[in-house]
Amino acid sequence: MKKMNVNVVGTLALFIFLLVTSLPSYSFELGARGYYWWPDFSAEVRVDGNALIGTTVDAEDDLGMDDESYPSVEAFFGIGNHHLSLMYTQADYSGAKNISRPIVFNGQTYTANAYVESDLEFRMLDFEYQYDLLDLENILAGFSLGIIAKVKYIEGEARLKAASLGYDESETFKAPVPMLGLGLHLGILADILEARAKVTGIGYSGNTFYDAQADISLTPFPFVDIHAGYRIMKLKVDDISDVYADIEFKGPYAGLTISF
């Protein structure tokens, strides 16, 4: 009986050994990344309401909004050629001035010279999957090219308040946006210096969305990367909850990644 148990254990151990050694070896990554972005901001927004067509307003010239800077946070996971990430970004802009012309917003007319306080807020959640079509570890210090499928969920609010007129109007819009694109990774110096770029986008029914970024990352010691790059994001909204908008963000960013 003991001899049979030894044989069974030995056979099982041999089977497990052969199974494990026959499985392909996959790289594995898990981590979090934080960005801080300093974008130039431009926006033209129109909000219809009460059967009235709104006025297309320039966020800077008409409402006095200035550029802002803000963070993004991202968690990511990858195994082999498969990569998943989830990023959250919130951007809030505000302005206040005596408007130089009448503005129709959400069915109300804000008369010229009225003192108007304005807010434009965005919350964006990006769920992204990338599959590496090409992964050449022996070219330079590594090279890969992948196809990206992404859903960008956008939730925004536009608000105009004029206390002297008794108006405080706001309108929200929400949209899940499917996007496709490409991702590129280039190792420059072993695992110390790397370049990354990706672009995703889609256009349909007068709506256009695209998001592109590129950066250089330095790994001064294991598990930590320092990034510097540039990002462009454009949102053209055509009648989502009576909101029409043409918005662009573009500018440099810095980031820090901790991964295992």
The answer to whether residue 146 scores a pLDDT higher than 90 is yes
The confidence score (pLDDT) of residue 20 equals 43
pLDDT at 23: 43
C-alpha 86/C-alpha 150 separation (Å) is 10
User: Which candidate, 211, 193, 187, places its Cα nearest to that of 87?
Assistant: 211
Backbone angles phi, psi at 83, to 5 degrees: -135, 130
Query: Whats the size of the chain, residue-wise?
Result: 260
Q: Is the pLDDT of residue 17 over 80?
A: no
pLDDT at residue 190 tops 90: no
Confidence band of 32 (pLDDT split at 50, 70, 90): very high
Average pLDDT over residues 58-80: 96
What are the pLDDT digits (tens) for 196-237?
999 999 998 888 999 999 999 999 998 999 999 999 999 999
State how far the Cα of 1 lies from the Cα of 23, in Å rounded to an integer.
33
- Predicted pLDDT of residue 188: 87
H or E element, residue 19:
helix 2-22
pTM above 0.95, yes or no: no
Q: Percent of the chain scored above 90 by pLDDT?
A: 77
Confidence of residue 27 (pLDDT cuts 50, 70, 90): confident
Domains of the chain: 27-259 (2.40.128.90)
Calculate the average pLDDT of the chain.
90
Tokens of 237: 């909204």
pLDDT at 22: 47
Residue type at position 236: K
Instruction: Classify 35 as helix, strand or coil.
Output: strand
Q: d(Cα 181, Cα 200) in Å, to the nearest integer?
A: 4
- Residue 90 above 70 pLDDT? yes
